[in-house]
Amino acid sequence: MTIPVSVKGVVVIDGRVLLLRNDRDEWDLPGGRPDSGESHEAAVVREAREEANVEVAAEDQLDDWPYEVLPGRFVRILAYGCRVVDVSRMALGSEHRELRLFAPDELDGLKLHEGYRRVIERWFARATR
């Protein structure tokens, strides 16, 4: 059985990462499932536009791991570091409750999956080299 794929984008704007709060009160990276025939990179770009109205380019795949959404139900997360193209019209889409930008030192205490923390740290480390 093939597990479904969900792509995620790490979007850093002025030294802060873009996160979205979902209906489970968890913080999430913009992303979702690719449409049929859509590349993973194109899906990251589309999802960032739909969920936060930001234009990005998916640059590097940062990680790939199974994520247990519900007990016994997994999706495969593919996380990409993104280059920001345009954030002048950034706005919360309809799928989430809140959009915020967080500095790396503000992530402690957030309800944020460990895999997301890991890829955020990786992208920040690459950006500051």
CB-based contact 75:67 (threshold 8 Å):
yes
Sole residue written with tokens 């940062």: 62
Q: Residue 16 and residue 18: Cα distance in Å, rounded?
A: 7
At 129, is the pLDDT very low, low, confident or very high (cuts 50, 70, 90)?
low
Enter the tokens of residue 95. 């799928």
Which residue segments constitute the domains of the chain, with CATH numbers given? 5-127 (3.90.79.10)
Region 4-31: mean pLDDT is: 95
pLDDT, mean over the chain: 94
pLDDT of residue 2: 81
At 11, is the pLDDT very low, low, confident or very high (cuts 50, 70, 90)?
very high
